[in-house]
A and B are shown apart, each in its own frame.
Chain A
Amino acid sequence: MEKNNKQFQVLMEQDFLDGKTAFTGKILRVNLTTEEIWVDEQPESFYQKWIGGRGLILYYLMKETAPKIDPLGPENLLIFAPGLLTGTILPGTGRHAVGAKSPLTGALASSEAGGWWGAEVKKAGFDAVVIQGKASRPVYLWIKDGSVEIREAEHLWGKTTGDCQEALHTELGDSKVRIAQIGPAGENEVLYASIMHDINRAAGRSGLGAVMGSKNLKAVAVRGTMKVGLADQALVKMTAKWITSNYKDMMGWAISYGTSGSVKFNHDSGATGIRNYQDAVLDGIENIDAATIFPLLIKDRDTCNRCPVRCKLVVGHDGEITIEEKYGGPEYESIGGLGALCGITDPVIVAKANELCAAYGLDTISTGGTIAFTMNCVQEGLLDGFDFLPTFDDGDALLKSIQLIADRSGIGDWMAEGSYRMAERIGNAAVPFLAVSRKQEFPLHDPRLKNAMGMGYALSATGADHMHNLNDTFATFDGGDVCARLRELGFETPLELWGISDKKIDAFVYETAFKNFLDSAVICHFYPYEYHHMVDALNGAGGWNLDRDDINQIGDRIITLARLYLLREGFTLADDTLSARAYYRLSEGPIAGKSLTPPELADALQRYFKRMNWTETGVPSPEVLTELGLEDFIPSAS
Chain B
Amino acid sequence: MKEPETALLILDKPLVDHKLEMRLPEGVYLNEIVKTLKIKPGLSFVLLVNGQVSDGNYYVKHGDIINCIPQIVGGLY
Contacts and interface: CB of A to CB of B under 8 A. Distances in A.
Given A268-B48, A475-B44, A477-B44, A467 B76 contact: yes
A476 B45 CA distance: 8
B25 interface: no
B32 to A, nearest CB: 12
29 contacts: A95-B76, A194-B77, A249-B42, A252-B40, A256-B14, A259-B74, A259-B76, A261-B72, A262-B74, A266-B71, A269-B53, A271-B46, A333-B74, A334-B75, A466-B74, A473-B71, A476-B55, A477-B44, A478-B35, A479-B44, A479-B45, A480-B42, A480-B43, A480-B44, A480-B71, A483-B44, A590-B51, A591-B53, A594-B53
B70 A265 contact: yes
Nearest to B47: A477
9 closest Cβ pairs, A-B complex:
A480-B44, A331-B75, A333-B75, A262-B72, A250-B42, A497-B55, A269-B46, A202-B77, A332-B75
Interface string A356-379: 000000000000000000000000
B56 A332 contact: no
B74 A112 contact: no
Contacts of A524: 76
B74 A477 contact: no
Contacts of A480: 42-44, 71
Interface in B20-68: 34-35, 39-48, 51-56, 67
Nearest to B14: A253
Contacts of A498: 55
B73 interface: yes
A380 interface: no
A525 B77 contact: no
A301 B13 CA distance: 21
Given A524-B76, A589-B51, A251 B42 contact: yes
A444 interface: yes
Contacts of B73: 254, 259, 262, 471, 474, 525-526
B48 A590 contact: yes
B69 interface: yes
A249 to B, nearest CB: 6
Nearest to B67: A268
B74 A467 contact: yes
Contacts of B39: 479
A526 B73 CA distance: 7
A11 B2 CA distance: 86
A580 interface: no
A112 B14 CA distance: 27
A493 to B, nearest CB: 10
B53 A449 contact: yes
A203 interface: yes
Nearest to B35: A478
B76 A443 contact: no
A481 B73 CA distance: 10
Contacts of A526: 73, 76
A199 to B, nearest CB: 12
Contacts of A99: none
A482 interface: yes
A251 to B, nearest CB: 7
Nearest to B39: A479
Given A265-B69, A477-B47, A590-B48, A497 B53 contact: yes
Contacts of B56: 476-477, 497
A178 interface: no
Count chain B CB atoms within 10 A of each CB in A201, A265, A481 and give the residue with the most. Answer: A265
Interface in A557-608: 589-592, 594
A270 interface: yes
A253 B72 contact: yes
A113 interface: yes
B77 A331 contact: yes
Contacts of A594: 53
B71 A474 contact: yes
B9 to A, nearest CB: 13
A444 B74 contact: yes
Contacts of A590: 48, 51-53
B55 A471 contact: no
Contacts of A250: 41-42
A498 B47 CA distance: 12
A473 B56 CA distance: 12
Contacts of B44: 473-477, 479-480, 482-483
Interface string A165-202: 00000000000000000000000000000100000011
Contacts of B75: 259, 331-334, 443-444
Contacts of A266: 71-72
Contacts of A466: 74
A262 B75 CA distance: 10
A488 interface: no
A114 interface: yes
A259 B70 CA distance: 12
A408 interface: no
Count chain A CB atoms within 10 A of each CB in B41, B48, B53, B67 and give the residue with the most. Answer: B53
A479 B69 contact: no
Nearest to A481: B42
A591 B69 CA distance: 14
A345 B69 CA distance: 21
Interface string A481-496: 1110000000000001
Contacts of A331: 75-77
A546 to B, nearest CB: 25
Given A201-B77, A334-B75, A479 B53 contact: no
B28 to A, nearest CB: 16
A218 interface: no
B77 A476 contact: no
A254 B51 CA distance: 26
A201 B76 CA distance: 9
A262 B46 CA distance: 12
A265 B42 contact: no
Contact of A203 (B51, B69, B77): B77
Contacts of A146: none
Contacts of B14: 252-253, 256, 261
A480 B77 CA distance: 21
A269 B42 CA distance: 19
